[in-house]
Structure 1
Amino acid sequence: MRIPLDIPPGLSADDTSFAAAGRWADASNVRFHRGRPQVIGGWERLVEAPLSGVCRGVLAWTDKGAVLNVAFGTHSKLQVFKGGGLYDITPAGLAAGLVDGTGGQGYGTGAYSTGNWSEPSSGDYFPRTWSLAAWGENLMACPREGAIHAWTNNTGSPAAALSNGPARVTHMLVAPTDQVFALGCNEEVSGIFNPLCLRHSSVRNNNQWNTDPATTAREYILPGGGRIVAGRVIGPYLLVWTSHALFLGSFVGSVTQPWRFDRVGEKCGLIGPNAAVVVGQQAYWLGPDLQFYRYGLGGAVEPLPCPIREAMTDNLAASQGDKIVASSSSSFSEIRFDYPDARDGTENSRQLRMSLSDGAWSRGIMARTAMIDAGPSQYPIGVDPDGAAYWHERGQSADGGAFSWFVESADQCLNENSTAMVRGLWPDMADQVGPVSVSVNGRFTPQGDETSSGALSMAPGAERVDLRTTGRMFRVRFAGGSAPTACRIGRPVFDIAPAGSR
């Protein structure tokens, strides 16, 4: 008897193996693409020298000469990769920020030894993150809680603060109308920082911020409490998240109010400034409640089901939610969330991926503190906690070394009333590079002891692998870890013989 292994795409890990029968249960560094598990691409160094500090922001853009520029904002520096070199363009006098978050206001928060003993902190303590955007061929860069700076593509000169702009800004973005937005900033008249104040410059003039009738600079205060966390451009519109809600910014062109901000979702705030990504006309993000959300233009905010969320919610490093990074991979039509898992420390160490084609989720172990999609760069760009910047989905190795991957099924129950013996496997692999091991574990009851075939190696092009495992239900695991390594698993067929009704 020959039975094909034909499992639907995506992991189902938040239930028991028997309840998730017929599904994939666990994986690392494997995505589901076109309905089948496939090893992710490799990564190669973008620049040999490491960045200075822990990177929390990346932006790629091109100048008028079509030269690729890549800006990196770390907790201590602002650097740019240009023409094959790495240059320091840190604004003069900018002190290093925090590497780790220590929580918001309240008792027991704040950095160690700051303030009076046993008193609650009066400030917020967040890791230094950056908001980066292109202004034509130039760079706009804003360290969280700092001023907005501009860099004019001269590698010998640092970025400089915009004249007349707010002195303290939570997040910055550039609108399609060529206006720079300060999200969470000082109010114009009083100069007092308001976490719900939103200001923008005049059209095509990023140094004009006064709200005279002769300018197009204006100020808005969002309702609803909380604080502004971040914003994103989505088509001709803006999305602005607070810690509580989501607002849609629309350009209406009125002299007195060029933009209008409408609340389009409540109790769906953003956990951190880098935890949202826009793909086309859809936005995806992680909220402070550790729930994934989705919003499309013209629609409503809706929770995004994730059947592998439990491991993240149980192990997210305390007070480090601001480090979470959401990104996309246009080549594979997927989104990705890198997060800090307390089992590994306080830096981003693991990831969750979701295919936008069929909603299939997967996960992996990989340390990346910043990540952006390809375009205008040829490949996605990621940075590890040690400052190494990489091209991703390039090659089939970890910068020349090996990386591990696996995908494992939940129980596959052939017949609850009879036992079977798995005798062999006919592989169905595409683009296999390096050996792939397969193991089959069998058991007779959902919580019974397992017997294993052991990990048996399959070379590229192997026609059959002989196995011997008996049970009523079986778990199948494919794995690799060579340099290079690659594989796409199709519809392998198991050779099975009846073994009685024990």
Structure 2
Amino acid sequence: MPQKIGGWVRLSSATFLGVCRSMLNWVTLQRQNLVAVGTNLKYYIERGGAYFDITPIRATATLTNPFTTSLNSTTVLVADVAHGALQNDFVTFSGASAVGGLTLNGEFQISFIDEDSYNITAASQASSAATGGGTVTATYQINTGNEIAVPFRGWSAGTWGSGTWGSSGATDAPMRIWSQSNFGEDLFFGYRGGPIFYWDASNDLTTRAVYVSSLGGASNVPTIVNKTFVSDIFRFAFCFGSNALGSATLDPMLIRWSDQEDVANWTPAATNQAGSLRLSRGSEIITTLQARQEVLIWTDTALYGMQYLGAPEVWGAQLLGDNITVAGPNAAAYSGNIAYWMGTDKFYMYDGTVKTLPCSVRSYVFNDFNFTQYAQVVAGTNERFDEIWWFYCSAGVTQNDRYVVYNYLQDIWYYGTLARSAWIDSDLRENPLAATYSNNLVNQEVGMDDNQTGVPSAITATLLSSEFDLDNGDKFMFINRMLPDVTFEGSTVDSPAAVMTLFPMENSGSGYYNPTSEGGVDNATVTRSATVPIEKFTGQVFVRVRGRQMAFKLESTELGVAWKLGIPRLEMRPDGRRG
């Protein structure tokens, strides 16, 4: 039964910095229900609506009189030779003495100047031009990443041999995408193209994560990876796309794993189960999912299944499907022992065999798609309604603004507009969680309205049919009455209403009539009049519409309205063959 989607409400008034691209929900031994939140600027843990910054520290430096202030300016110049920071990175100063009337202890965001200096913005204006600050400790967080994939054009962009001599090439500067898994109650995580980190849940939530290479017993820890993962069986830590043992260069098809139950030991030996293997089909590993008895691995052209074999091989991979695509690192979801994913031009499923997933709205999705932002595609489940959701960027848009949904129980597709950058559906929380571009998390399927900012606003919910005709479509039809069959169960207002509209057209492809009716109306408002002893709503509405083909729309635009559509009935009759 078609119905309006549920509303959403923010977890709290707290916000985080950056755009969230990935989340993980787990529970610690102390029964703390936590959500890891990875953004392009920082890494957080959410508990009880509060966001705790656990972003790892990259470097610490001791500086002498590093600050230069300007009269009546909030901009402060900081000198630090070979600081290693990038635009929008974060630094925390401690131990600073006043300079120019400012005491610059605390966290600041960096405005990059050159390798030896940068600017920060103080909370107030300097009272004088001065240089100083005394002995200052500067603590730098790991480099930040891009919010979106940034096309890069110029000399050296692209692969060797592509294009013509002297022409500019093109590639993308990747956006920051995290991957994470719980290692027991702890957290093992990393970002695409970076090192790997570890957060110990026995510490306070204000304690930052550390490099895995800094843990006791660390040995040959990968230094650059594309995706992290922890297996369900025997708890091996994995890096998909990694530098090889003894190398500092990323091999995007190499898989490395740690010793069993030891996230720090990556040195293969006869006495442990650490190891590696390299896949052959494709040029890079894109993403992975834990399936029932295997780990699914997508490269840019193939799907592999990886299984535990025991010593001496430990893990092995077999090819499950070739000549396929996957849109991005977050484009796959798993439900009911079936994997579903969005490719670069179609949808797929794997239920033991790789199959193309027939999609009735495929042209709608891929004919209006920003192909430079494939990496932003987010897939997620909504188990309550037997759905797989994908969020993506429409053409010309650089943030996810649309969704397409596959209902696997009813085998139907539907689509709409909604801006979400990440999504998880966890049994550990009552509702699915989604990340918004308002820099917060929201509980989905709560209420009937949009409450992501704390001020409820109405959701415009629209249901539009395909065109239908009479008999073989050779006759015009005249419609003068509709029986709506709409229920407003779940509405939170006394008199919920929705508008039903008919759109007539003369021929296929001729466009809808304007005006849509002659001497009458083409729409009517359906309202609820009573809820007991049974729900009562407008039983019939009168219209006056003529056309060879028609489309039907139901729409609500008010706060607190919920509706479900049954089987509406139209009173129609043949009305000739000419318009």
TM-score tier by shorter-chain length is 0.7 to 0.9
Code of the residue aligned with 1:437 in structure 2: it is V
Does structure 2 retain, via aligned residues, the 8 Å contact 1:238–1:248?
Answer: yes
Aligned mate of 1:157, from 203, 207, 210: 207
Code of the residue aligned with 2:572 in structure 1: it is I
1:13 aligns with none
Does structure 2 retain, via aligned residues, the 8 Å contact 1:69–1:82?
Answer: yes
Give me the whole-angstrom Cα distance separating, in 2, the residues matched to 1:383 and 1:470. 45
Aligned mate of 1:485, from 543, 546, 561: 561
Query: 2:344 aligned with 1:300, yes or no?
Result: no
Query: 2:374 aligned with 1:409, yes or no?
Result: no
Query: 2:10 aligned with 1:65, yes or no?
Result: no
Q: Deviations over 1:443-491 (max 9, x none)?
A: 3432446224344211121112121112232211111121122111111
Give me the whole-angstrom Cα distance separating, in 2, the residues matched to 1:252 and 1:57. 30
Q: Deviations over 1:142-171 (max 9, x none)?
A: 111112211123212111121242111100
Does structure 2 retain, via aligned residues, the 8 Å contact 1:102–1:109?
Answer: no
Give me the whole-angstrom Cα distance separating, in 1, the residues matched to 2:562 and 2:239. 44
Q: Deviations over 1:338-395 (max 9, x none)?
A: 001124x201110100001132000010010111113211100111223121100111
Give me the whole-angstrom Cα distance separating, in 2, the residues matched to 1:105 and 1:236. 43
Aligned mate of 2:191, from 140, 143, 160: 143
SS at match of 1:155: coil
Aligned mate of 2:325, from 269, 274, 287: 269
1:32 aligns with none
Query: 2:502 aligned with 1:440, yes or no?
Result: yes
2:295 aligns with 238
Code of the residue aligned with 1:38 in structure 2: it is Q
Give me the whole-angstrom Cα distance separating, in 1, the residues matched to 2:395 and 2:185. 40
SS at match of 1:37: coil
SS at match of 1:486: coil
Aligned mate of 1:251, from 280, 286, 308: 308
Aligned mate of 2:369, from 316, 319, 325: 316
Give me the whole-angstrom Cα distance separating, in 2, the residues matched to 1:474 and 1:80. 51
Aligned mate of 2:43, from 78, 92, 97: 78
Give me the whole-angstrom Cα distance separating, in 2, the residues matched to 1:130 and 1:59. 10
SS at match of 1:220: strand
Query: 2:183 aligned with 1:127, yes or no?
Result: no
Query: 2:512 aligned with 1:457, yes or no?
Result: no
Aligned mate of 1:54, from 2, 13, 19: 19
Q: Quickly say closer, same or farther: Cα 1:138–1:259, change in 2 above 3 A.
A: same
Q: Quickly say closer, same or farther: Cα 1:421–1:108, change in 2 above 3 A.
A: farther
Give me the whole-angstrom Cα distance separating, in 1, the residues matched to 2:153 and 2:326. 18
Q: Which has the larger radius of gyration?
A: 2
1:37 aligns with 2
Does structure 2 retain, via aligned residues, the 8 Å contact 1:60–1:375?
Answer: no
Does 1 or 2 have the higher relative contact order (CA < 8 Å, sep 6+)?
1
2:387 aligns with 334
Give me the whole-angstrom Cα distance separating, in 1, the residues matched to 2:294 and 2:446. 33
Q: Structure 1, unaligned stretches of length 5 or more?
A: 1-35, 111-116
Deviates more, 1:81-90 or 1:96-105: 96-105
Code of the residue aligned with 1:160 in structure 2: it is V
| Aligned-residue offset at 1:501 | 5.2
Q: Deviations over 1:215-259 (max 9, x none)?
A: 111111111241111111101310111111111001111x22111
Instruction: Give the aligned length.
Output: 455
Please report the RMSD computed on the Cα atoms of aligned residues, expressed in angstroms. Answer: 2.1
| Aligned-residue offset at 1:107 | 6.0
Query: 2:433 aligned with 1:376, yes or no?
Result: no
Give me the whole-angstrom Cα distance separating, in 2, the residues matched to 1:68 and 1:286. 30
Code of the residue aligned with 1:473 in structure 2: it is Q
Q: Quickly say closer, same or farther: Cα 1:419–1:192, change in 2 above 3 A.
A: closer
SS at match of 2:372: coil
Q: Deviations over 1:395-419 (max 9, x none)?
A: 1101121111111112221243443
Structure 2 length-normalised TM: 0.75
Code of the residue aligned with 2:426 in structure 1: it is A
Does structure 1 retain, via aligned residues, the 8 Å contact 2:488–2:561?
Answer: no
Q: Quickly say closer, same or farther: Cα 1:492–1:225, change in 2 above 3 A.
A: closer
| Aligned-residue offset at 1:75 | 0.4
Structure 1 length-normalised TM: 0.86
Q: Quickly say closer, same or farther: Cα 1:246–1:182, change in 2 above 3 A.
A: same
1:388 aligns with 440
Does structure 1 retain, via aligned residues, the 8 Å contact 2:523–2:543?
Answer: no
1:466 aligns with 542
| Aligned-residue offset at 1:83 | 3.2
Code of the residue aligned with 2:378 in structure 1: it is V
Does structure 2 retain, via aligned residues, the 8 Å contact 1:329–1:374?
Answer: no
2:339 aligns with 283
Give me the whole-angstrom Cα distance separating, in 1, the residues matched to 2:313 and 2:555. 58
Query: 2:219 aligned with 1:168, yes or no?
Result: no
Give me the whole-angstrom Cα distance separating, in 2, the residues matched to 1:92 and 1:303. 44
Q: Structure 2, unaligned stretches of length 5 or more?
A: 59-141, 159-165, 214-218, 529-536
SS at match of 1:331: helix
Does structure 1 retain, via aligned residues, the 8 Å contact 2:522–2:544?
Answer: no
Code of the residue aligned with 2:145 in structure 1: it is G
SS at match of 1:293: strand
| Aligned-residue offset at 1:269 | 3.1
